[in-house]
Amino acid sequence: MVRKNNLPPCEKMHQLLKEYPEAYKYITSPLDSIFGLHTVYVALVRTKNNEELIKLGYTKNTVKKRFSESRYKGKMFLIEVIHEETFPSLGSTMFEKKLLSNLKQYNIKDTDIKAPGKGELFKAKHKDIILQKYNELKGKYKNIRGVKPPN
């Protein structure tokens, strides 16, 4: 058992994983969230009130898998993935934040949707503006690497 607290964190982690390889299944997902690749997407969704909206977001999973999560069930339904691209995790969060701030005048603020990401919703009529801004800004974030806090 690794008991030496004076080991550098990297060596300590390596030793612990050698001793407890079953721990991999518990740390893989958080590590992927911290510095793995993420998809930044633009999707057409339907609310439980049958309103079609554009949703921006990022996920370490596929967009389809994201919307199959229990927190979306019965609240928001994926109709179509309009656009998606892969970014390093830190770049994805920075890009999403910049994109949302550049599109805030089109954001739907008054909504009764009780689902995650409700602040990332836009009227479907703004699709072209959203895609234009996405393409205009994405290049600055495609190669930004670093550590982002886990979700």
pLDDT tens for each residue of 118-146:
789 999 999 999 999 999 999 999 999 99
Torsion of CA 119, 125, 127, 133, to 10 degrees: -80
For residue 1, the model assigns a pLDDT of 53
Q: Is the pLDDT of residue 97 over 70?
A: yes
DSSP label of 108: -
Rounded to whole angstroms, how far apart are CA atoms 131 and 139? 13
φ, ψ of residue 113 to 5 degrees: the values are -70, 130
What are the tokens at 64?
């389809």
For 101, the token pair is: 């701030």
DSSP state at residue 83: E
